[in-house]
Chains A and B, each alone.
Chain A
């Protein structure tokens, strides 16, 4: 049996998880940095939080299943993309553990982590993947042993759009769940720019429009219209990809995957294109160590590890430049 540790620290979450090659998750411990209401993540403050909680999070991830460092086969960490200071906390602690106990070290792309954990938990084989985390809004499919980008946002991500709107109405980041609640109370659709460019999306005009209308329209109606417009754009792009690539599974991963209205819309999209909708379970939708541990395990099985002294972080690391040798 292979067993490994994964450490996630790309943005607001510091998390550690232990997983084995049957996909059994022994632990998935998290600590989330919360910025003050109305403001976003400050990288330095977030990294300070991570440094403070790092050792206790890692220790409890090992303690819960009663595993010690020596039993681990590898250490994996999120190497990017993300906030530099935050990434370095996870990378440093991983490099230390690996060097001290003589374990192989594995850098993992955060986005690949979301998709691979989602595939594991929903039993998706060859899906069209929607990656909807804070830093990504992408439609992907496995191509040439990589995750090829079929469509993506040209400016803001869906997570940023909702978060920045939330902050504009005084909510704390991450504001997704709170915006969703407010949107449920809205009923009037306010006209907003709908920007689908081929397979790509643009959300910046939508954010500007929603913010501008705050003086003349209720928060509820604006939150509702913002979600309706953005989710419809994403649904359309998903439909285009399904029609062209003929995938039989639609996998949705990342924090925004937890939104109920989005789920409802994608359910209808999937039904029309006769494919199965697979949404990552809510407790694993946000950033977590398990996504890194599981992807680390896939790399370990493919024989890919690095020496602790060649560990790296990369703040802007494109997902389609990452090799995923276990994919077709």
Chain B
């Protein structure tokens, strides 16, 4: 029997079975507020992208196995990861920021930009002792440093709003983790500052502080 386990901005997540294994059904439902053409375009694009990127990322990081994709129903069926979210762990253990950095760094080394690297998308499966990254709907292929820097800027934004008490410590650990796996990334902080200066009002808070 299908059970709704999460309702995100993008999709409804159901827990069910796929043959003998438990699986997650990620269904991108119609958005009532959008004109139909736009809504369908986005849902189709993201379903295809997510399935493709989940598979492409597996050579560098852990992602759930894709079991089935339906473009018509805007649905991806994937392996269920029974785990805890970084969101609920990181304030107790800011050191885990390092893991986030490593995972994202490895992904960038494949030229994959995640597009939505918030702390709810990093899952720890304690039985297997492995970290997983999920939610690839906004991800894409790019070798541009600029695009990687946007990913890092998003991490910073999310940590600041969701984990303000440990912002500095988490960011420092994140940076250490990121730099330990990614090569030729010395200029990345400069690039982030550049992006942030392009915004309306310049930030004084740099990436690490």
On whether A144 and B158 interact (CB within 8 A), knowing A232-B38, A239-B9, the answer reads no
For the complex, what is the distance from the CA of A73 to the CA of B202, rounded to whole Å? 34
Neighbouring A residues of B118 by C-beta, 8 Å: 198-199, 244
* Structural contact, B204 and A198, CB atoms closer than 8 A: no
Selected contact of B7 from candidates A189, A243, A318, CB within 8 Å: A243
Q: A198-B116, A198-B154 are in contact. Are A149 and B161 (CB under 8 A)?
A: yes
How long is the Cα–Cα vector from A152 to B158 in the complex, in angstroms? 12
Known: A198-B115, A199-B154. A148 touches B164 (CB 8 A): yes
Interface: B3 (CB within 8 A): no
CB pair A318–B38 under 8 Å, yes or no, is no
For the complex, is B72 an interface residue (Cβ under 8 Å from A)? no
Mark each residue of chain A from 110 to 121: 1 if its CB lies under 8 Å from any CB of chain B, else 0: 000000000000
B101, CB-defined interface residue at 8 Å: no
Distance between B12 CB and nearest chain A CB, rounded to angstroms: 10
| Chain B positions within 8 Å of A143 at CB level | 160-161, 164
B144 at the interface (CB under 8 A from A): no
Given A143-B164, A268-B32, A269-B33, does the pair A150, B157 have CB atoms closer than 8 Å?
Answer: yes
Q: Does B198 contact A (CB under 8 A)?
A: yes
Contacts of A81 in B (CB 8 A): 200-201
Q: When A141-B161, A197-B138, A228-B35 are in contact, do A153 and B200 touch as well, CB less than 8 Å?
A: yes
In the docked arrangement, what's the CA distance between A105 and B202, Å?
26
Indicate whether A229 reaches chain B with its CB closer than 8 angstroms: yes
**Within 8 Å CB of B158, what residues of A?**
150, 198-199
B21 within 8 Å of A (CB atoms)? no
Contact A318 B164 (CB under 8 A): no
Contact B157 A199, beta carbon cutoff 8 Å: yes
**Structural contact, A189 and B164, CB atoms closer than 8 A:** no
Any A CB within 8 A of the CB of B199 = yes
Say yes or no: is B97 at the interface (Cβ < 8 Å to chain A): no
Asked whether A155 lies within 8 Å of B162 as measured between CB atoms, the reply is no
Determine the distance from Cα of A196 to Cα of B150 in the docked complex, in whole angstroms. Answer: 12
A144 proximity list for chain B (CB < 8 A): 164-165
A143: shortest Cβ distance to chain B, in Å?
5
Q: Which one, B151, B161, B203, contacts A148 given CB within 8 A?
A: B161
Is there a chain A Cβ closer than 8 Å to B34's Cβ? yes
* Neighbour of B33 across the interface among A136, A151, A232, CB < 8 A: A232
- A141-196 contacts to B, CB under 8 A, are 141, 143-144, 148-155, 157, 189, 191, 194, 196
| A235 on interface, CB distance cutoff 8 Å | yes
Let me know if B33 and A265 touch, CB within 8 A.
yes
Given A189-B37, A240-B9, A244-B162: A157 and B200 within 8 A (CB)?
yes
Task: Identify the 9 closest CB pairs spanning chains A and B, nearest first.
Answer: A239-B9, A198-B154, A265-B33, A240-B9, A268-B33, A316-B201, A148-B161, A318-B201, A189-B37
Q: Residues of B with Cβ closer than 8 Å to A? A: 7-10, 31-35, 37-39, 41-42, 115-118, 120, 138, 150-151, 153-154, 157-158, 160-162, 164-165, 195, 198-205
Interchain residue pairs with CB less than 8 A apart (24):
A143-B160, A148-B160, A150-B161, A152-B199, A153-B200, A154-B199, A194-B41, A194-B42, A198-B115, A198-B138, A198-B157, A199-B116, A199-B118, A199-B158, A228-B35, A235-B34, A244-B118, A244-B120, A266-B33, A268-B32, A317-B201, A318-B201, A318-B203, A321-B204
